[in-house]
Amino acid sequence: MNGFIEWITQPWPWYVAGPLIGLTVPTLLLVGNKTFGISSSLRHVCAMCVPSGIPFFTYNWRKEMWNLVFVIGVLIGGFIATNFLANPNDFVLSNETRADLMGLGITDFSGLMPSDIFSWSTVFSAKGLLFFVFGGFLVGFGTRYAGGCTSGHAIMGISSLQWPSLVATIFFMLGGFVMTHFLLGPLMSLVGF
Amino acid sequence: MKVLEKNIPAEICDAPNSQENIEKGFALIKYMIIGVLFGIVFVKAEIISWFRIQEMFRLQSFHMYGVIGSAIITGIISIQIIKRFGIKTISGETVNIPNKEFRKGQIIGGFIFGLGWAITGACPGPLFAQIGSGFTVVFVTLLSALAGTWVYGKFSDKLPN
């Protein structure tokens, strides 16, 4: 039992995590004829709370409640994993990434997220504006414009061999590369890193 | 089903629901359980980490490519098995996977999402898992993502698609 606890609290390798995530696809299909996708939950919240007579948000969101229940589950899963299955060892990051990010002004490499960015003290600053407000807006706007995110397009869409999802995934990655290699550095120095 | 989005039926959006019977209340608990397991995998594989996303886009670790790649392969095999053997849902319905139609949004919107993904270090799924993991400030990111979704909805008929 101790061996199991020790094994399960280690960070899980990709060849364990990837297939488990992939299995979400048939699980949702067989449990309730549901297509895997997460960004749609954001649309359902809009439809539920602020439809404002916009046709895009005028649909039977009650039928899609399962999607909101699912993402609440993801949140609870995050809580369980962090509080009961936490990795007892230090967070391991590749040396190159650490060096690159130190060059950008990141100083905290102790956990999954750098406290230089992800703490409440940065919310009402230019840093917060970039990382939470601007970044979050691009995620919400972009995923809806693309009709899906990493789960809906990259995993569900490509798994069902739909080429538009492959196109979307290629452009997700392209956007990420452009931001990481050309824009993130200048933007971070602009907000005070 | 009503036509909702410029001649695009709701089914074509991600995560459509093809089930004929609408489930309510306790019947939805099973989706919460699947979500919980999914959230645990997200945290334990460190997919929710801003650092892991930076590693991915800097091509300095194989981890994220391994996760996404093996998830896709597992998904492909599973769907092929479901189709070949005509496996039904637990309530006996035929599994239905709606087709996604190509639109310009997959290029423009996809690129915009990619820009945001590299800033926030999270696609929508990990956003929820990050909040659950105690990074409560990510709730601000979630609110902003909701705002982005709403603004897209508001102007969707004026954007190239």
Higher-scoring residue by pLDDT: B20, A56: A56
| Interface test with chain B among A7, A33, A57, A79, by most B beta carbons within 10 Å | A33
Cβ neighbours of residue A180 under 8 Å, at least 6 residues apart?
Answer: B54, B57, B58, B118
Chain B segment 19-58 residues within 8 A of A by beta carbon are 19-20, 22-24, 28-58
Average pLDDT, chain B: 90
Alpha carbon distance B145, B150 (integer Å): 9
Where is average pLDDT lowest: A63-67, B23-27, B71-75? Answer: B23-27
Q: Would you give per-residue pLDDT tens digits along chain A (193 residues)?
A: 788 888 889 999 999 999 999 999 999 999 999 999 999 999 999 999 999 999 999 999 999 999 999 999 999 999 999 999 999 999 999 999 999 999 999 999 999 999 999 999 999 999 999 999 999 999 999 999 999 999 999 999 999 999 999 999 999 999 999 999 999 999 999 999 9
- Rounded to the nearest angstrom, the minimum Cα separation between A85 and chain B is 8
Choice among A73-87, B2-16, B42-56, B70-84 with the minimum mean pLDDT: B2-16
Q: How far apart are the first and last CA of chain B?
A: 21
Contacts of A81 (CB under 8 A, 6+ apart): B39, B40, B42, B43, B44, B129, B133
Give bridge partners of residue B94 from the DSSP assignment: B88
* pLDDT for residue B3 is more than 50: no
Output A20-23 pairs: Cβ under 8 A, ≥24 positions apart: A20/B37, A20/B41, A21/A155, A21/B38, A21/B41, A21/B67, A21/B71, A21/B74, A22/A155, A22/A159, A22/B70, A22/B71, A22/B72, A22/B73, A22/B74, A22/B75, A22/B78, A23/B74, A23/B78
**For an interface test with A, which of B37, B38, B48, B49 has the most A Cβ atoms less than 10 Å from its Cβ?**
B38
Residues B38, A179: C-beta atoms closer than 8 Å? no
Using a CB-CB cut-off of 8 Å, the residues of chain A touching B70 are 14-15, 18-19, 22
The enclosing H or E element of A71 equals helix A65-84
Q: Is the full-model pTM beyond 0.80? A: yes
Interface of B with A in 138-157 (CB under 8 A): 138, 140-154, 156-157
Q: Of A171, A110, A42, A41, give the one whose Cα is nearest residue B113.
A: A171
pLDDT band at B4 (very low <50, low <70, confident <90, very high): very low
What number is the ipTM of this complex?
0.96
